[in-house]
Structure 1
Amino acid sequence: MTMDDIIDFVEGLGDVLTLRPAPGDGSPEISWGDTFFYYSPDRIVPDRTQPFATIVTKNYPGDESSGLDRAGAFRVNIHAGKEAFIEATGHAPREQGVADAGVPDTVIAHPVYGPFGWLAVTEPGSRSGEVTRELLRGAHALARSRYERRAESTRR
């Protein structure tokens, strides 16, 4: 799977706002080249929420274990939620799991945000492509549910 394949897939889930920071748009330089996905039917970045998935193209401070400093390397990060996280890793998010974040095409607990239910896949391919798509579908559904709950509570 290429980054464009993933972006096209996620945008096809519906009501997705895709942010692709670049020079000159006011975003922090460290985010340039990365992609952030939000559930947002109104196409506005939701207040007080994180993206439901991201694609990162470089190492971030404190998150170098995936080795994204290689040419063409990228990692998909997915806010999977507890149930999908357990299914993918065999343990709860807050339990300590050990995985090599640099191994491509393998679903692992996110090297930094795993305790919060995030999964990661460096360079998804033939082994992890379908499960990556399924996890993205689930993350989108969870984000939609959170959005709808917030919208309902503000209408009251």
Structure 2
Amino acid sequence: MDEIITLVSGWDGALAVTAADGDGSPALAWGDSFFYYAPDGVMPQRTQPFATIVTKNYPGDDSSRLDRPGVFRLNIDAGRGLAREHAEDGADPAAPDAFFAHPVYGAAGWISVISPAAVTAEPAKELLHQAYQVARDRYERRNRG
């Protein structure tokens, strides 16, 4: 998890926010990380993150069994094409180191992986960077002139 946060934080204009007690985020999100393109360093209020790391089950989203020790799920807004290309049909959403369609947002092009390791680490980094580029391009289009 820390490696992913450090990686993304090093990209120009990328902002990694880890929700914590006292920052105004809901208690359910504490410990989870959200990645934005925000060159001003301020978390956008009306923009979805381009990726997230979740460390626990959410209501209606428990199929990844994130209540296991040391397990986290990386979620990336890969876009429908890349998500279909990388997600394994019928993949177990609780299996580590395998891509699958996000249990809730898969139809919107989000892809997930439990605790990326040998098989998924490098492709996950590439997908993260592509999602960052899309978020950056969108930001620049919206903020021209």
Task: Quickly name the TM-score band, shorter chain normalised.
Answer: over 0.9
Of residues 4, 8, 11, the one that matches 1:10 is 8
CA shift digits 1:100-121 (9 cap, x unpaired): 1000001111011001110001
Matched with 2:141 is: 149
Question: Does residue 64 in structure 1 map to residue 57 in structure 2?
Answer: no
Contact 2:57 2:66 in 1 (8 A): yes
Structure 1 unaligned spans of 5+ = 91-96
Question: Does residue 121 in structure 1 map to residue 113 in structure 2?
Answer: yes
Q: CA deviation at 1:17?
A: 1.2
Alignment of structure 1 residues 3-152 onto 2, 5 Å: 3-89=1-87, 97-152=89-144
TM-score by length of 1: 0.88
TM-score by length of 2: 0.95
Q: What residue identity is the alignment partner of 1:51?
A: P
CA shift digits 1:28-70 (9 cap, x unpaired): 0000000000001111222421000000000000000000001
CA shift digits 1:59-103 (9 cap, x unpaired): 00000000000111100000001231132137xxxxxx5321000
Matched with 1:94 is: none
Distance in 1, matches of 2:106 and 2:15, equals 24
Poorly superposed stretches of 4+, deviation over 3 Å: none
Structure 2 unaligned spans of 5+ = none
Q: CA RMSD in A?
A: 1.2
